[in-house]
Structure 1
């Protein structure tokens, strides 16, 4: 891929690549490319177009149209492929990117450019019919959900029926013929529901861009900005990027890696990865990924370059990083980086550790901790021992005991009565951000530690357990079972995020201040010193 990865196709003369203009996603792509990391080429529709496009202003809509045309021509030149071509098609993604990162709150559409002709062009290009039809069915679903507003459940049901009919365990085991039939079923489903996915790739892209801009105003995005005190002014940029394919086979995949543990602050990689998958499979929370050991065993050189790259980004950005990446046939591509969302306890641990390492100074550490009420921080544990009913994957540490709610709306009702709440959901969907805000803990049947919603839960300081295989939820009846034991709304449930266990019933909690707190208090007592004297370790 090219080392000149970014072009602001805006109709404006400013070449500046800043979060305020290009969004945080594109700005960090630019920085990663400057570090020598492999980044697929992209162009950007800047934040300055968002408000006008959403208001339907003629000048803004014309600027978007011109920007897309200029940007696609630029990508075609750099990749040697043609948008919608029947022999060497260019496929792109349209990704949101606000000035301040909002994980999973805004929209993305992948695999744009596929239709009945270009899907066969993709087969001619790489000789992989499974990849082509898998990508096509993904585009149809993504476009229908993001642009058409169709619920994911309709497509999930069609997929489940296909998996059952083919007698395989999951979508990763469907062959190319089954995926071709699934893509056709998806198109028919979308059409019956009133949304026709355009055959024209340029219309696909134009509609996707409009929907990504409009996602700035979605209820979950508005609620996230309210919870995190982010201004509603401005808007999102759109990064249109050449696709790389993690769904290319057993030496491919997609993942998310944190340079340090965002739950505890420990200096250790924190990685979720899915083989033969695209990035949305990981961050959506709909599938349960594998950890670093599986990637290391199958693709050791990729794992080494990934760790080296992530540590390089951390050193140059002077903060723990959350990095999204794709592996295509053993080739590693970096797709996004941002400062890692972390638990309040991890924020404290990271600040102290990075001062000791000389990565940041004390004033910087104190500034990062200013948003937290350190006096309220505590290391908590259960006062008693109890036999666990089930195990799960810990996405955020700590302990929580509360009454079960099976929806965000019900969680808010229980919380208004003064009860602590455990939100129990099939997966960690960002649609549930309002429920996260009032819950003490979150438990899901599927998902990984790096799903966007798990990232949000950590940032809010909530105990979060995901991938609980013993949990089965019946949403229509608002009830569940854990290892066969009935669980109803309002029942007490206890989560231990430190060891990843679930206990039925109510448990008492004891707490103590974190060890690092005393050191930070000493820093604060010397805050009147000169910056030079306040820097460094103890």
Structure 2
């Protein structure tokens, strides 16, 4: 029987800190006692160890289980990654057996792309908010997952504010933020040499690898 690398929040408990990390174990415990926790899944600490043993690769077995649990999460939430009617957005957080400064920053609103942002703009009746979330996600993902420094994006924001003759970010319109998202993606392509990932599953696997890598980053080692 293959090893279990992924646990739904409903499958764990507070005693599983070694396997699920502090956050994962506590989310499971809160789910158990009936608190209204948005449901998701935790990839085990053993999967991170395995990643290093496999030469910094996520092996096929772990990959398959993550895909299986994406399906389970979609069933639980009634939402689907990349769906134009009811899109699923997730946050990706790092956790460890012992709390450790230096691990990866949280990524919010993973699952956003050119099509999903339009759905959210329409459903919320607030396009400005939707495009603000989108440009923030591009910036967050580029910085945290691909290590494209925040400063490049801050410069683009400053340029746009100067161009529009405004002082504050909040003075930029929905159209401005939509244009800014495109500029952010162009910046990403220039720095990385490929397009910003629009497939939510590709975004998620990039984020998972970034969590595993953060265990061995300079900040964590210090």
Query: Is the shorter-chain TM-score for this pair beyond 0.5, marking a shared fold?
Result: yes
RMSD over aligned CA atoms reads: 2.3
Residue aligning to 2:97:
99
In structure 1, runs of 5+ residues without a counterpart are: 1-8, 224-538
Alignment deviations for residues 145-164 of structure 1 (CA, whole Å, 9 cap, x no partner): 12222111111111222233
Larger relative contact order (Cα-Cα within 8 Å, sequence gap ≥ 6): 2
* 2:131 corresponds to 1:136: no
Between stretches 55-64 and 26-35, larger displacement belongs to 55-64
CA distance 1:70–1:131, change in 2 (3 Å): farther
CA contact (8 A) 2:6 2:41 kept: no
Match of 1:526 in 2: none
Distance 1:173 1:217 in 2: 40
| Partner of residue 194 from structure 1, selected from 184, 192, 195 | 192
Matched, 1:61 2:59: yes
Choose which of 5, 21, 33 in structure 2 pairs with 1:10: 5
The structural deviation recorded for 1:58 is 9.4
Work out which of the two has the higher radius of gyration on C-alpha atoms and give 1 or 2. 1
Residues 107, 215 of structure 1: 8 Å contact kept: no
Separation (CA, whole Å) in 2 of partners of 1:98 and 1:144: 23
Q: TM-score, normalised by structure 2?
A: 0.85
Listed as ranges, the matches of 1:142-181 within 5 Å are: 142-181=140-179
- Distance in 2 (alpha carbons) for counterparts of 1:192 and 1:48: 35
Name the CA distance, whole Å, in 2 between partners of 1:58 and 1:101: 22
Residues 128 and 63 of structure 1, relative CA distance in 2, 3 Å threshold: farther
Q: Does 1:26 align with 2:24?
A: yes
Kept in 1, the 8 Å contact 2:84–2:116? The answer is yes
Evaluate the alpha carbon distance shift between residue 28 and residue 172 of structure 1 in structure 2; reply closer, same or farther with a 3 A threshold.
Answer: farther
Give the corresponding residue for 1:209. Answer: 208
CA deviations 1:398-424 (Å, max 9, x no partner) are xxxxxxxxxxxxxxxxxxxxxxxxxxx
TM-score by length of 1: 0.37
Map of 2:113 onto structure 1: 115
Shift of the alpha carbon at 1:198?
Answer: 1.1
Is this contact kept in 1: 2:94–2:103, CA < 8 A? no
Residue 29 of structure 1: SS of its match in structure 2? helix
Deviations 1:232-271 (A, max 9, x none): xxxxxxxxxxxxxxxxxxxxxxxxxxxxxxxxxxxxxxxx
Deviations 1:400-449 (A, max 9, x none): xxxxxxxxxxxxxxxxxxxxxxxxxxxxxxxxxxxxxxxxxxxxxxxxxx
| More helix, by proportion | 2
The answer (yes or no) to whether the contact 1:22–1:47 under 8 Å persists in 2 is yes
Structure 1: distance between partners of 2:35 and 2:127: 29
Runs of 4+ in 1 over 6 A off after TM superposition: none
**Could you list the per-position Cα deviations for residues 328-361 of structure 1 after superposition, in whole angstroms to 9, with x for gaps in the alignment?**
xxxxxxxxxxxxxxxxxxxxxxxxxxxxxxxxxx
Cα deviation 1:204-258 (Å, max 9, x = unaligned): 11111111111100010111xxxxxxxxxxxxxxxxxxxxxxxxxxxxxxxxxxx
Deviation, 1:90, is 0.5
Shift of 1:197: 1.6
Give 2:70's match in structure 1, choosing from 45, 61, 72: 72
The alpha-carbon distance between structure 1 residues 187 and 91, as it changes in their structure 2 partners (threshold 3 A), is same
Stretch moving more, 72-81 or 214-223? 72-81
Question: Which protein is richer in strand relative to its size?
Answer: 1
2-side partners of 1:32 and 1:168: how far apart? Answer: 44
Q: Is the 8 A contact 1:47 1:98 kept in 2?
A: yes
How far 1:142 moved relative to its partner?
1.7
- Relative distance call for 1:55 and 1:139 in structure 2 (3 A) is farther
CA displacement at 1:117 relative to structure 2: 1.4
**Once the two structures are superposed, what CA deviation does each residue of 1:118-176 show, in whole Å capped at 9, x if it has no partner?**
11122233222122211211221122112222111111111222233333343233221
1:20–1:99 contact (8 Å) kept in structure 2? yes
